[in-house]
Amino acid sequence: TAMETDLRHALMHQQFILHYQLQVSALGDPIGAEVLLRWRHPGRGLVSPLDFIPLAEETGLILPIGLWVLETACKQIAVWASDPVKSGMQLAVNVSARQFRHTGFVEDVTRILHETGANPILLKLELTESVVLEDVSIVIEKMHAIKKLGVGFSMDDFGTGYSSLSYLQRLPLTQLKIDRSFVHNLPDDVNNANIVRTIISLGGSLDLNVIAEGVETEQQREFLLQAGCLAYQGYLFCKPIPIEEFDEFISNRQ
Ligand code: G
Ligand code: G
Ligand code: NA
Ligand code: MN
C-alpha cells in the first residue's frame, strides 16, 4: 500500500522522532519519562502512532522502527548519565507484541545496551497485556532473560486487558501502569475509583510499584495519592514534548 511505502521511506529518511513525557513522584519530583513515537510526515505534519503502529505491526516494519526507538532511548540514557539532575531518570519504552515475540528480541536489547553504554537499571519496557496472550511460558522466559540485565517491565494500560491473576504473579514485572480510562473521571466515578483502588492494592500484594497515566487534574492526583499510588504521568505535569524542550523543562524546575 501507499502508506507502507511511506513508512519505509520514513524509516530511511529519519522522519521519526521521539517525544518524552515526564513521570513524577508523590513529591512532584521527576523520576523519568515515557518515550512516545511520532512520525514527522512532510505533508501531514506530526502523525500519532495510533495511525501507523497497526500497519507497522502488520508489515513487520515495527521491528526496525522498534529498534530505532530503543536505540534512541538508550543513547539518551547514556547522554543523561553525566548530568547531575537527569542521571537517575528512567526511560520507559513501549514494546509492541510482535516486537517482543520476535526471536531476536533478547539479543537486540542486550546489544543495544552494550553499544550505547546505557545503564540497564534506567530502562523500562512497557508491555501490554496482548503480549502475554499466547506462549506465556516463552514470554516469561524472555522477560527473565531481559530482567537479568537489570531492565524493568511495566504492564501498560493495566486493567483493560485479560490478565489473569494466576499468570500475573508469574511475570517478572516491576510496575503496573493504571490505564488512563480509569483515571479520567476520578474521583466521581465510583466504579473507576474502586478499580483504581483494587489495582493499587494488587500492586502492593505483588510487590510492584504502580504508576497512573492520564493524570490531568489536581483532584485526580490527590485521589491517587490517598489511594496509595505514588507515581504519576499526565498533562497535569507535562505533555509529551521533544527532547530539547524536555531538557529545558527539567532544568527550569530546579
Ligand atoms: O502518544 P500517543 O497517545 O499518541 O500514543 C498512542 C499509542 O501509541 C499509545 O498506546 C502508545 O503506547 C503507542 N506508542 C507510542 N510510542 C510507541 C512506540 O515507540 N512503540 C510502540 N509499539 N507503541 C508506541
Ligand atoms: O497507551 P499508552 O499508555 O502508551 O498511551 C500514552 C498516550 O497517552 C500518549 O499518546 C500520550 O499522548 C497520551 N497522554 C499522555 N498524558 C495524557 C493525559 O493526561 N490525558 C490524556 N487524555 N492523554 C494523555
Ligand atoms: Na505505552
Ligand atoms: Mn503507556
What single string gives the DSSP state of each residue in 110-178? Answer: HHHHHHHT--GGGEEEEE-GGGGSS-HHHHHHHHHHHHHTT-EEEEEEETSS---HHHHTTS--SEEEE
CA distance 47 to 42: 10
Report which of residues 166 and 185 the model is more confident about: 185
Q: What is the pLDDT of residue 240?
A: 98
The closest residue, in CA terms, to atom 8 on ligand 1 is 49
**Closest atom, ligand 2, to C-alpha of 233:** 16
Tell me the pLDDT tens digit for each residue of 153-171.
999 999 888 777 778 889 9
Average pLDDT, the chain: 95
Q: Ligand 2 centre and the CA of 9: distance in Å?
A: 27
Per-state percent for the chain, helix, strand, coil, to nearest 5: 45, 20, 30
Q: Which helix (H) or strand (E) holds 183?
A: helix 180-183
Q: What is the pLDDT of residue 57?
A: 94
Q: What is the pLDDT of residue 118?
A: 98
Residue 37 Cβ contacting ligand 1 at under 6 Å: yes
The closest residue, in CA terms, to atom 21 on ligand 1 is 94
Average pLDDT over residues 25-35: 97
Say yes or no to pLDDT of 124 above 90: yes
Q: What is the pLDDT of residue 167?
A: 81
Q: What is the pLDDT of residue 2?
A: 85
The CATH number that domain 2-252 falls under is 3.20.20.450
Q: What is the pLDDT of residue 68?
A: 97
Q: What is the pLDDT of residue 161?
A: 82
Average pLDDT over residues 34-43: 95
The closest residue, in CA terms, to atom 14 on ligand 2 is 214
**Closest atom, ligand 1, to C-alpha of 62:** 22
Q: What is the pTM of this model?
A: 0.96
DSSP character for 28? S
Q: What is the pLDDT of residue 165?
A: 78
- Rounded percentage of the chain residues whose pLDDT exceeds 90: 88
Q: What is the pLDDT of residue 164?
A: 75
Q: What is the pLDDT of residue 132?
A: 82
Say yes or no to pLDDT of 3 above 90: no
Q: What is the pLDDT of residue 220?
A: 98
Average pLDDT over residues 200-209: 96
Average pLDDT over residues 15-30: 97
Say yes or no to pLDDT of 95 above 80: yes
Does the CA dihedral 57-63-68-74 come out positive or negative? positive
Say yes or no to pLDDT of 90 above 80: yes
Determine the residue of 11, 19, 37 to mutate for testing ligand 1's pocket, defined as the one with the most ligand atoms within 8 A of the Cβ atom. 37
Write the ipTM: 0.94
Tell me the pLDDT tens digit for each residue of 231-254.
999 999 999 999 999 999 999 986
